């Protein structure tokens, strides 16, 4: 989700709490997306792939560390006179709690979307997701932007008697509920297969596989199954060759970014790639869709 949607979600859940506490929560819930400033690290050095967007700051441990660091940064800004939040110790404790809660709320909402987040890093870089949204939810972003414009212009009061943020909240949770219902329906329809939503809310990608190959089909809620592509998991590449690539930083980064990875032998080396992203079925993440492990020079 975008930072604006995350901020609105914290304001909504903050309800009628003290405005300063809500601000602590908002800061906490937008902090994890600061990892976009670290993207250059993973772009230039594959060993730092975990510092990509949706990486370390979206893990439970990373978000906790980031929120605590953010809280003490606010405290330092208070001591320097830049900010002036209440100095009451009880308030400070609640402020820290709100900032941590905001960061964890961010992680919880991003857990809803593909390709997932590394919840348990540094113990594992495996990504987890409920998979009800296709990466960034463009629809929710549009809803939040439109809502912000309505608040700025005052149009929000023309169709609602309640506080504006509750109107946004109704739409927000309705979208999430609808996505859950769709996911449940498609998952039940293709039990045992992976169902990946697309930007088109009526279309899904269905992935199944066995020991030798992946089968990728497309599914429309209105037209049914259409289109099919089969990808060999290993085309001319042995298991030992794949094991030899396991510690390759470029290979680790490719696996981290990908939904699935297949291997094929090329004259110049071993090509590893994500067929879903290379074929254009999925655009996100847009980078590092394939990697060519060149043969060592004799």
pLDDT digits (tens, 9 = 90+) for 141-163: 998 998 888 878 877 654 444 46
**Cα-flanking dihedrals φ and ψ of residue 243, to 5°?**
-60, -35
Query: Angle between the 138-153 and 164-189 helix axes, to the nearest 10 degrees?
Result: 170
Q: Is 270 left (phi over 0), alpha (psi -120 to 50) or beta?
A: beta
pTM given for the model: 0.90
Where is average pLDDT lowest: 123-127, 159-163, 194-198? 159-163
| Type and span of the H or E element at 265 | strand 262-266
Predicted confidence at residue 230, as pLDDT, reads 97
Where is average pLDDT lowest: 12-26, 53-67, 76-90, 222-236? 76-90
What is the average pLDDT across 239-264?
Answer: 95
Residues whose CB is less than 8 angstroms from the CB of residue 159 and which lie 6 or more positions away in sequence, other chains included: 167
**Cα-flanking dihedrals φ and ψ of residue 17, to 5°?**
-70, 170
Q: Is 71 left (phi over 0), alpha (psi -120 to 50) or beta?
A: alpha
Predicted confidence at residue 19, as pLDDT, reads 86
What is the average pLDDT across 262-290?
Answer: 95
Enter the tokens of residue 203: 């279309």
Provide the residue count of the chain: 298
Residues whose CB is less than 8 angstroms from the CB of residue 231 and which lie 6 or more positions away in sequence, other chains included: 213, 214, 216, 262, 275
The 3-state DSSP class for residue 268 equals coil
* Average pLDDT for the chain: 91
């Amino acid at each position: 989700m975008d930072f604006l949607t995350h901020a609105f979600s914290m304001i909504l859940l903050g309800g009628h709490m003290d405005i300063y506490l809500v601000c602590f929560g908002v800061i906490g819930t937008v902090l994890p997306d600061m990892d976009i400033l670290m993207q250059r690290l993973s772009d230039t050095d594959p060993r730092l792939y975990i510092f990509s967007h949706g990486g370390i700051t979206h893990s439970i441990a990373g978000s906790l560390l980031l929120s605590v660091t953010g809280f003490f940064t606010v405290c330092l800004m208070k001591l320097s006179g830049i900010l002036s939040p209440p100095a009451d110790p009880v308030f400070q404790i609640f402020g820290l709690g709100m900032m941590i809660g905001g960061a964890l709320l961010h992680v919880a909402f991003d857990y809803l979307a593909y390709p997932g987040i590394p919840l348990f890093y540094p113990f594992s870089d495996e990504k987890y997701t409920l998979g009800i949204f296709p990466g960034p939810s463009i629809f929710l972003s549009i809803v939040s932007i439109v809502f912000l414009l309505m608040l700025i212009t005052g149009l929000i009061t023309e169709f609602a008697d309640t506080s504006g943020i509750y109107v946004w909240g109704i739409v927000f949770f309705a979208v999430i509920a609808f996505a859950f219902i769709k996911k449940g329906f498609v998952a039940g329809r293709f039990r045992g297969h992976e169902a990946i939503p697309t930007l088109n809310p009526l279309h899904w990608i269905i992935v199944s596989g066995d020991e030798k190959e992946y089968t990728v089909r497309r599914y429309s809620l209105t037209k049914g199954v259409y289109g099919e592509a089969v990808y060999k998991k290993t085309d001319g590449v042995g298991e030992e060759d794949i094991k030899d690539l396991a510690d390759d930083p470029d290979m680790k980064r490719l696996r981290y970014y990908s939904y699935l990875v297949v291997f094929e032998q090329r004259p110049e080396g071993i090509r590893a790639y994500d067929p879903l992203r290379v074929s254009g079925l999925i655009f996100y993440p847009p980078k590092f869709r394939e990697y060519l492990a060149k043969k060592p020079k004799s």
